[in-house]
Each structure stands twice: as C-alpha cells, then as structure tokens.
Structure 1
C-alpha cells in the first residue's frame, strides 16, 4: 500500500513517515511545496498523480490560529479550497482521502465531549476555514474519512510539549490556562490510527462507513494539568522543571478565541475501526522521553559538533 501524505513538515506527516520506515508493506511518501502548494490548487493534481497513491492523507494545512484572524483569505485558500482540491484529485485518481480536521469547528460551550453529529459553530477564522474544508472534502470525494483531532503534540515541529519544556529550562514558574479542557493527542498515535484505518480501506474497496470521525487521545485534562504532567515526567527523567500557576482564559489574551471545551468522543472511530488511542498520560511520557533523549555529541577537535537523536 502506498500512502501519500500532503505536507512534509507537519507533525502528522513526520509521524507517518517515521512509521512507514519500520512497517512492512506500507510505503509512505510526503509531497509538499513547491510541487504541491495548497494555496495554488492548480499544482495539486499533478503532484499527487506523480506520487501514484493508493490512499491520500490530507494533512497539510494553515494552522496559525491567531494569524488567521488577519489572513482569512489565505487560511480559506489553504484549508478550504486546497483541501477540496486534494479530495478532488483523489477522486479523479480513484482513491480514498483521509482528511485531518480540528476541534476548533466547535464553540466549546457543550458541557460534555463532542460527538460527530453535534452542531458546529467555529469561534474564529481558523475553525471556520477548517469546517469549510470538511464540506469541500465531502463534496469532492464520497470515499473520505474526515478525522477531527485536538491538542496535537509530538517529537516533531512546534507544539505545547516542546514549548513547556523549553520554558521550564529558563524559568522557575509559568502561568498556564486552567479553564480550557481537552484530549492531548500524540501525532504518533494519530499516525498509527491513520495507518490502521488506511489498511482497512485498502483491503475493503467497498468500505461504506465514510464520513466524519473524532480521533483524539484517551482521557481528558486542562492545559495546566497537561503542563504539570509534562514537567513531572521531565523531573523524573532529569530534565527541566518549573512550577505551574493556574490562570483563567481571560487572563491570557489571544487574538483568536479558543473553545473552553475541546473534548472529543472517539466512540464512533473505536466502533468502526476497532482502534483506540492510549491514555494521554502514557503517550505524553513517550514523547517527553524522546525529547529529553536528544543530546549534542561533541566530536574530537574544536568546534566540531553534530546533533544526534536517540530513543531510550
């Protein structure tokens, strides 16, 4: 099975590429700019056709949540029109598309975990552009899985886990929002779920359960609880540590509003694909351990260094 993922630098794309290197029978290929540029839809079909996919994972996106408030046209061009172009290309090539979406399609006012049939009501441009992308994907290709996820972190790219560890290295205390709740989700787990679902789609050409699914880590917490867990692990492993001081959303000003409740129910995905993410604490520990295992090896001779990453 040849899995083609859009974007080269994203957390999910990097996680899929890593998984593909160790799994037999799966070839993962990433395509991105300049060959495939979602802001230039005319590039999409040619790039994907040349990659010869069996399944396409639509992972590339405009993800600058606050900046999107000032760049609405670009956010919609990439997240809506670009996503639609990827799904249309998949349809022309006769293959399914797995599209990644977000908890930001909801306004966060529900008092329990969101299910796939709950009404959407984005609070900002980013969420609205991703919702438009969901609609474009569904309209362009009936053979689609739309996977909404939330609070994504990994050993790759920029994310909350890396930010907290970095801040703890040079301060004793940090303020973290305590009234926003969600499911921390490892991109490594997202990749595992995608590969599991893709294998089912590849085996069953008549798969008839296409649609929207929620895919997130098991269990819930708030941002300050997430930060404390990250730093507790770090302290045990000899890494940086700092005190966490709880604050309210109103005390942390951002240009774009965030949903206070980002919890996603994954019952539908578990039922359809017989797969469930590990508890978020376990997956967080794996990522923190990997990040702390990175070290600089000093070679013989002055000013000769190289960075090495290793897993313990």
Structure 2
C-alpha cells in the first residue's frame, strides 16, 4: 500500500454502526415452576417452600422450560427476521445473529443455548456477560444494601461460583460452547444488578473494541424478567422480550427504536405453564433437574 493510501485510510471518517440488541427473558426455570405446582396440587406448600429455600440456588430450566425454549426460540427467530419488512426499515434486517450472550446465571446460559439450538449458523460461542443478572424485583432501589443482600441470600437470585457453573455445564455437555472470559475479567461487575443501559455502555467499550468495525451488528441477549421490566416498565413471559435499534457513534449508543416482541407472538408460542396439564409429575419426572432431582422426589 502506498504511503498516500495509508494516510487516507488513517484519516478516513469512521462510519456509524447500526446495532440491534434483542433482549429476551430466560426460559421457564425450576423456581418459576414451584408456585404453579403448588396451585395445581402437585406439590405441597411446605415442600415447595423448602426447595426454594435451600435446593434451588442458581436454578436451571425445567424439562418443560428446556423444550419450550427450543420451540419458542425458533418462533422468536422468525419474528426477528420479519421485523424489517413489518416496519419497512432496513436497519432492522437481522438475517443472522452476530453475538449471542447471557446473564451470569445458569437458567440464562441454558436458555441462550436452547433458544438458538436449531437456528441456521448461530455464533459458535455464547458469551457470559456481566450487568445482566436478575435484580431484587421487590425493591425500588436495586443498588441498596438491602437489595444486594437479597440478591445474594435468596437462592433463585443467587449465583453459583464460576467453577460450579462450569462444572454444571460440563455435566450436560455444553461447557465448550460458553465463553466466561468477560465475567472472569470483570468479576465485580458479574455481581452487579442487571441494568440494560449500563450493559450497553459496557458492551460498547469492552466488546466492540475487540472486533473490527462494521456497519451492522445484531446481538441476542438472554436476561431476566426484573431487568427487562426495570427498563421497559412492562412484564414479559419466558422466552420473550424486546428489540432496541440504535446507532453507535463516537462510542455512544443513540436509541432509534424500541419494539416489544410480545405483540408478534403467535398462538404456537408456548406460555401455558400455569395450566394443570403441565403441572403434574409426568411432565417433570424422571429428571435430575431442579435440585439434583429433589423436585421429582416430592411431587405427587
């Protein structure tokens, strides 16, 4: 390359990057199932209370949640790919996902894998990111000392250690698909309550700086109900969420459009977890999920 060409390249004006962030709630977890099982008389209240208190630290998906995440993931993928036509907006073209990431909780990790399991050419790594973990939904100040204590002491909010999470993923044959490098490097941020604007800013500085500049980037993120509602002020069912489209310029993300995926969910999208037909022992057992199989031991 001639000197003048190098000079031109050096001073070439950087283009803005169009980014689509898709934020989705994790699948139906073991902790989500307890209340429905009690209401449908498949589980005694005291047994459910005991499970929630001690055996469901950083709980995984139920068998139903696992299967639903696969089928719902295919539906969400179709919805995402149709948005550019529905809104007549080329900035919403998402024929492929460039990045798949998740919160540092096991149910999000599993959901990220199972929702994208049947996609065509998904990324070969799933990144475990900080600033996405569930928040204390009962609090008006997720950063308060009381809320932080709740996050660490309530089993369904609490996190296993990274080594424990890796051991679990290895036991189900998925460890090699996950990249823990960001939460290992930013171990304190891993513990922080989820916050979507904070995550986006962090992502731009710490992920975007590692990749070549591009004109378009599509990012699929699995997080939690409380994190989604904290941003959108709206509740979302398992495996659903919203899209944020914006432009990255000078390391700042300018939001162009917010789109809820809820209004596009067809009847085939599974969300009938509360119905009695899905709350009996045959739908959960035999299984080693949910407290290393302890849920199956107490179901009627």
TM-score by length of structure 2 reads: 0.29
Give TM-score scaled by structure 1 length.
Answer: 0.28
Of structures 1 and 2, the one with the larger relative CO (CA 8 A, separation 6+) is 2
